[in-house]
């Protein structure tokens, strides 16, 4: 269970940090100033903060498996759709959608862990799960750098490949959550 949740968190965190790597070329391609690009990042986190509690209220209503699967599929779609951004407005809308849909994941999983692990093991389970953040940061930069080098393949920019290859797996993992988590 922890290994599966660890993989889920890797893709959740990757969706948060990939905008920074995409920004190396995306800003120029979309005609974004540094301020506009920064606003896109801020809008993600604003939506993430605002929708964290409502998302977890939904989790308690519909159940962890259904809600986590749903938000994963939705944030995967929104993150992947970022490859089609054409300017600041579309980027802002998509980053807000990613923030809204991703907001309930971390607190939802931490709650979910309380259902599976007794109190004496819970801190260890949480720690093993949370290690995904530094692992994603370390490996994400290497993977993102490689993906960005795909610039021009099949007429896509490197940053478009980044959102496709780092966003779409969340859709597939969300479907797996539906069948694997209880």
DSSP state of 92: H
DSSP state of 32: -
What is the structure's pLDDT at 127? Answer: 87
What is the structure's pLDDT at 110? Answer: 86
- Per residue in 124-138, pLDDT (tens digit) is 888 888 888 888 888
Domain ranges for the chain, please list them: 2-180
What is the structure's pLDDT at 15? Answer: 84
Measured CA to CA, the distance from residue 115 to residue 13 in angstroms comes to 23
The pTM of this model reads 0.91
- Residues with Cβ within 8 Å of 51's Cβ and at least 6 positions away in sequence, in order, are 99, 100, 103, 104
- Per residue in 15-62, pLDDT (tens digit) is 888 999 998 899 999 999 999 999 999 999 999 999 999 999 999 999
> What is the second-level CATH architecture of the domain 2-180?
Up-down Bundle (1.20)
CB 178 within 8 A of CB 72: no
């Amino acid at each position: 269970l922890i290994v599966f949740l660890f993989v889920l968190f890797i893709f959740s965190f990757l969706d948060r940090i990939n905008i920074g790597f995409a920004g190396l070329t995306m800003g120029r391609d979309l005609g974004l100033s540094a301020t506009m690009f920064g606003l896109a990042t801020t809008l993600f986190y604003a939506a993430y903060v605002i929708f964290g509690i409502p998302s977890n209220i939904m989790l308690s209503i519909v159940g962890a498996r259904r809600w986590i699967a749903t938000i994963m599929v939705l944030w995967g779609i929104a993150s992947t759709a970022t490859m089609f951004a054409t300017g600041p407005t579309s980027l802002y809308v998509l980053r807000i959608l990613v923030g809204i849909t991703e907001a309930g994941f971390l607190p939802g999983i931490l709650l979910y862990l309380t259902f599976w692990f007794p109190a004496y093991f819970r801190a260890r389970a949480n720690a093993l799960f949370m290690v995904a953040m530094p692992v994603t940061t370390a490996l994400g930069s290497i993977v993102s750098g490689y993906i960005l080098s795909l610039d021009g393949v099949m007429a896509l920019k490197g940053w478009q490949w980044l959102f496709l290859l780092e966003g779409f797996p969340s859709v597939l993992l969300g479907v797996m959550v539906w069948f694997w988590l209880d």
